[in-house]
């Protein structure tokens, strides 16, 4: 068996590519890196790589993380500027035993020293988004903007290896130096080939309060089926946050068990994800909440097209 699951509809083309190239069968880790790299390079996705939205100073600061579930090795970078493909750097850092989580200038230096490509990551389009927001209300609550797009991918290959990776520009207009869940092991991603893997998207500050990805893998370890593990972990965190702080941010997760079955959970109404496996072509699902229960619906071609049209529409200042 092999399988891949990725957050949001935007993972479709990238997962499709690695499925076509058979990468996902052979090596879960390199399938994740290739897929995420493709998403980082596509400038119309607003939360990942080139085209990612800037912080309050109009600087694009990127976070990425990667974990190998066979060895529990992980690598991550945070608040890094001017690196074209953060996921590649996170992957390279997972080969290190120490200093595998690097921040800002140190992360950039590691990337430069290891020959990773540098690039000015503020795209003209992201700049327009920034200028538009500056014209609008300035004091809006910082939260994942409508249609946020952090990518998190989990994969299982035919050798039985499970890996997880993430890449994001984080929250639009975040404070300089702000870091979310995406590079934080156990929050944005976690993988253990004995049990399963999980990745998260949403409001990093709230996701981190539950170490949500680690929590899901712990539930899998207890023998709880993957869908139940996701629903249980997410609902528990949602309820706990509501009780303790009176509000809850967007929380969404995707997971695989060691047999390639998927689980997903969200507390928002517009979450979408992509799943592919040995027995299923890459499929985009929309998660609909009905009377407190989650229902999955396969996205129509019209919906898929509209998503891209919206992402690529001209920005009026
Ligand atoms: C963060 N979790 O930096 C990320 C944001 C996100 O889709 O997921 N956006 O908090």
Residue 1 Cα, ligand 1 centroid: separation in angstroms? 30
| Atom 7 (ligand 1) nearest CA | 150
Among 284, 232, 221, which Cα is nearest to 258's?
Answer: 221
φ, ψ of residue 39 to 5 degrees: the values are -70, -40
Residue 297 Cα, ligand 1 centroid: separation in angstroms? 24
User: What is the chain's pLDDT, residue by residue, as a tens digit (317 residues)?
Assistant: 999 999 999 999 999 999 999 999 999 999 999 999 999 999 998 899 999 999 999 999 999 999 999 999 999 999 999 999 999 999 999 999 999 999 999 999 999 999 999 999 999 999 999 988 888 766 566 566 655 679 999 999 999 999 999 999 999 989 999 999 999 999 999 999 999 999 999 999 999 999 999 999 999 999 999 999 999 999 999 999 999 999 999 999 999 999 999 999 999 998 999 999 999 999 999 998 777 788 999 999 999 999 889 889 988 87
pTM score: 0.96
At the second CATH level, the architecture of 3-312 is 4-Layer Sandwich (3.60)
For 154, the 3-state DSSP assignment is strand
User: Rounded to an integer, what distance in angstroms lies between the CA atom of residue 18 and that of residue 121?
Assistant: 25
Among 18, 144, 40, 136, which Cα is nearest to 88's?
Answer: 40
Contact residues for 307 (Cβ-Cβ < 8 A; gap 6+): 9, 10, 272
Pocket probe mutation, ligand 1, options 201, 206, 266, 270, max atoms within 8 Å of Cβ:
201
- Residue 243: Cβ within 10 Å count: 9
Contact residues for 241 (Cβ-Cβ < 8 A; gap 6+): 206, 209, 210, 247, 248, 249
Domain boundaries, the chain: 3-312
Residues composing the chain: 317
Q: Would the CA dihedral through 229, 182, 110, 28 be positive or negative? A: positive
16, containing H or E segment: helix 12-20
Pocket probe mutation, ligand 1, options 177, 203, 248, max atoms within 8 Å of Cβ:
203
Among 49, 64, 52, which Cα is nearest to 166's?
Answer: 64
Q: Which residues line ligand 1 (CB under 6 A)?
A: 47, 144, 148-150, 168, 170-171, 180-182, 201-204
Catalytic residue among 150, 166, 201, 266: 150
In DSSP terms, 296 is beta-bridged to: 287
Q: Determine whether 150 is an active site residue.
A: yes
User: Rounded to an integer, what distance in angstroms lies between the CA atom of residue 78 and that of residue 184?
Assistant: 9
- Token pair, residue 155, equals 């994969």
Instruction: Output b/e per residue, 187-221; b: 16+ Cβ within 10 A.
Output: bbbbbbbebbbbbbbbbbbbbbbbbbbbbbbbbbe
Among 66, 102, 106, which Cα is nearest to 188's?
Answer: 66
Residue 150 Cα, ligand 1 centroid: separation in angstroms? 6
Residue 151 Cα, ligand 1 centroid: separation in angstroms? 9
Pocket probe mutation, ligand 1, options 180, 207, 271, max atoms within 8 Å of Cβ:
180
Residue 61 Cα, ligand 1 centroid: separation in angstroms? 12
């Amino acid at each position: 068996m092999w399988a891949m699951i990725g957050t949001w509809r935007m993972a479709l083309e990238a997962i499709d590519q690695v499925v076509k190239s058979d990468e996902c069968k052979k090596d879960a880790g390199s399938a994740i890196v290739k897929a995420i790299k493709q998403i980082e390079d596509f400038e119309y996705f607003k939360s990942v790589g080139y085209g990612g939205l800037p912080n309050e100073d109009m600087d694009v600061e990127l976070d990425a993380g990667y974990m190998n579930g066979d060895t529990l090795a992980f690598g991550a970078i945070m608040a890094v500027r001017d690196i074209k493909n953060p996921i590649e750097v996170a992957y390279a850092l997972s080969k290190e035993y120490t200093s595998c989580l690097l921040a800002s200038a140190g992360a950039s230096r590691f990337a430069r020293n290891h020959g990773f490509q540098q690039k000015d990551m503020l795209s003209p389009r992201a700049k327009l988004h920034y200028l538009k927001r500056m014209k609008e209300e300035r004091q809006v609550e910082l939260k994942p903007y409508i249609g946020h797009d952090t990518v998190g991918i989990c994969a299982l290959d035919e050798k039985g290896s499970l890996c997880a990776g993430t890449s994001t520009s984080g929250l639009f207009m975040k404070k300089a130096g702000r870091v979310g869940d995406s590079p934080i092991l156990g929050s944005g991603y976690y993988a253990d080939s004995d049990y399963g893997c999980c990745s998260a998207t949403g409001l990093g500050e709230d996701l981190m309060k539950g170490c949500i990805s680690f929590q899901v893998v712990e539930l899998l370890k207890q023998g709880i089926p993957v869908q139940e593990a996701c629903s249980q972990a997410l609902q528990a965190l949602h309820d706990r946050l509501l009780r303790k702080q009176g509000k809850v941010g967007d929380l969404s997760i995707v997971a695989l068990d060691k047999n390639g079955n998927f689980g997903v959970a969200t507390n928002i109404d517009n979450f979408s994800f992509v799943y592919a496996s040995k027995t299923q072509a890459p499929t985009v699902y929309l998660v609909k909440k009905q009377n407190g229960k989650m229902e999955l619906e396969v996205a129509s071609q019209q919906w898929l097209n509209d998503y891209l049209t919206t992402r690529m529409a001209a920005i009026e200042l």
